[in-house]
């Protein structure tokens, strides 16, 4: 920590690919703060020790990624509402010696859609494709934001039901054809990372079902535009990639750590440059 006034970081395994330090430090520079962000390679089973190390080193905050999100949630002193609902955290904050666990992923996505598309989820019909950790966070966020209907489309009905439960009274399990009447369709699976025609066919929702007046979102951010998004755009839908979720979930962490509004323009520039 030599030379820095405060230290934050990102923890998980593998961690070398994480863009979090670039986003954090771009924000700190824009805010005029002499803070530093580091990567901490911590494998499964190291969550409890990570929380104690955070106290010992007095780290102001940590971003948490796989495979630690659920493990760390069980070790902190307090959880925010979203983290408590999900049993998962992606952000830690040290305040007065206590470690607080937050979940900013799903809320970060909604922030990104408001920022770039003017999209307000209240009263809308949403389809979530997939039932993993990202789908759970998105479902919980949409439910808390007042979406009128949240339909989950996944290969495993039991996991889809879990996401629907987290979405609250508006949540239900559906089928791919529900995408045709949704306002927003959110692809949460990693299919787009391969970005080949073969993997495009593997998506549960055929983008040819989509049309003008809909918003299609893919949480994959590398590549910036997936084949699924390109196909959705050809069908007339408005589209949004996953980089905004990455930036805005980090922005929520920054604001909690430093007590100031996050410099979004600087963070967007850093994310775009890193990719």
Verify that 114 and 233 share a domain, yes or no: yes
In a domain, 133, yes or no: yes
Q: To 5 degrees, how large is the angle CA 231–CA 237–CA 243? A: 75
**What's phi and psi for 267, nearest 5 deg?**
-70, -40
Res 107: pLDDT? 97
Of 28-42, 73-87, 146-160, 196-210, which gets the smallest average pLDDT? 196-210
Structure tokens at 165: 């439960």
Structure tokens at 157: 């009905």
Q: Which long-range contacts (CB under 8 A, 24 or more apart) does 160-168 make?
A: 160/131, 162/131, 162/136, 163/128, 163/131, 163/135, 163/136, 163/139, 164/139, 166/85, 166/86, 166/136, 166/139, 166/140, 167/128, 167/139, 167/140, 167/142, 167/143, 168/143, 168/144
Verify that 250 and 161 share a domain, yes or no: no
Of 67-76, 100-109, 187-196, which gets the smallest average pLDDT? 187-196
Verify that 94 and 154 share a domain, yes or no: no
Peptide bond into 158 cis (omega under 30): no
Band (pLDDT 50/70/90 cuts) for residue 199 is low
Mean pLDDT of all residues in 185-207: 81
Structure tokens at 211: 């049309």
Band (pLDDT 50/70/90 cuts) for residue 195 is low
Range list of β-strands (E), the chain: 6-12, 35-41, 61-64, 78-79, 91-95, 98-102, 125-129, 149-153, 171-173, 184-187, 215-218, 238-240
Q: Which tops the pLDDT comparison, 193 or 5? A: 5
In a domain, 25, yes or no: yes
Whether pLDDT at 1 is above 80: no
Res 209: pLDDT? 95
In a domain, 207, yes or no: yes
Band (pLDDT 50/70/90 cuts) for residue 196 is low
Peptide bond into 118 cis (omega under 30): no
Verify that 119 and 221 share a domain, yes or no: yes
φ/ψ region of 196 (left if φ > 0, alpha if ψ in -120 to 50, else beta) reads: beta
Domain at 56, CATH number: 3.40.50.10860
The SS3 assignment for 126 reads strand
Verify that 64 and 177 share a domain, yes or no: no
What is the pTM for the complete model shown?
0.93
In a domain, 261, yes or no: yes
Strand 61-64 relative to strand 78-79: parallel, antiparallel, unpaired?
Answer: unpaired
Q: In angstroms, rounded to a whole number, what is the distance separating the alpha carbons of residues 67 and 169?
A: 29
155-182 per-position pLDDT tens digit = 999 999 999 999 999 999 999 999 999 9
Domain at 119, CATH number: 3.40.50.720
Verify that 78 and 159 share a domain, yes or no: no
In a domain, 27, yes or no: yes
Number of domains making up the chain: 2
Q: In angstroms, rounded to a whole number, what is the distance separating the alpha carbons of residues 76 and 41?
A: 19
Share of the chain above pLDDT 70, in %: 96
Res 75: pLDDT? 95
Verify that 253 and 218 share a domain, yes or no: no
In a domain, 35, yes or no: yes
Give the domain range for residue 262.
6-103+246-274
In a domain, 228, yes or no: yes
Verify that 237 and 250 share a domain, yes or no: no
101-137 per-position pLDDT tens digit = 999 999 999 999 999 999 999 999 999 999 999 999 9
User: Is residue 198 classed exposed, middle or buried when 0-12, 13-18 and 19+ CB atoms within 10 A define those classes?
Assistant: exposed
The SS3 assignment for 45 reads coil
Verify that 254 and 228 share a domain, yes or no: no
223-255 per-position pLDDT tens digit = 889 999 999 999 999 999 999 999 999 999 999
Catalytic residue annotation:
69
Verify that 192 and 254 share a domain, yes or no: no
Verify that 89 and 136 share a domain, yes or no: no
Res 2: pLDDT? 56
In a domain, 1, yes or no: no
Verify that 13 and 53 share a domain, yes or no: yes
């Amino acid at each position: 920590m030599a030379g820095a006034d405060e230290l934050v970081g990102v923890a998980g395994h593998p961690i070398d690919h994480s863009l979090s330090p670039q986003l954090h430090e771009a924000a700190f520079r824009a805010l005029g703060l002499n803070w530093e962000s580091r990567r901490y390679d911590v494998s499964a089973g190291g969550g409890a020790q990570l929380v104690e190390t955070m106290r010992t080193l007095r780290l102001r905050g940590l971003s948490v990624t796989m495979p630690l999100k659920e493990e760390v949630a069980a070790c902190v002193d307090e959880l925010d509402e979203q983290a408590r609902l999900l049993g998962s955290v992606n952000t830690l904050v040290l305040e007065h010696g206590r470690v607080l666990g937050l979940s900013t992923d799903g809320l970060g996505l909604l922030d990104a859609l408001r920022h770039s598309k003017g999209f307000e989820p209240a009263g809308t019909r949403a389809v979530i494709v997939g039932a993993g950790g990202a789908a759970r966070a998105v479902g919980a966020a949409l439910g808390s934001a007042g979406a009128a209907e949240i339909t989950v489309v996944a290969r495993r009905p039991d996991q889809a039901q879990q996401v629907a439960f987290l979405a609250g009274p508006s949540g239900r399990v559906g089928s791919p054809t529900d995408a045709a009447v949704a306002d927003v369709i959110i692809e949460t699976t990693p299919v787009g990372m391969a970005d080949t025609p073969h993997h495009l066919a593997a998506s549960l929702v055929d983008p040819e079902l989509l049309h003008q007046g809909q918003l299609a979102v893919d949480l994959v951010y590398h590549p910036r535009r997936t084949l699924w998004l390109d196909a959705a755009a050809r069908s007339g839908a408005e589209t949004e990639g996953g980089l905004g979720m990455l930036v805005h979930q980090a922005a929520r962490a920054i604001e909690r750590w430093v007590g100031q509004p996050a410099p979004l323009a600087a963070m967007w520039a850093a994310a775009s440059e890193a990719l």
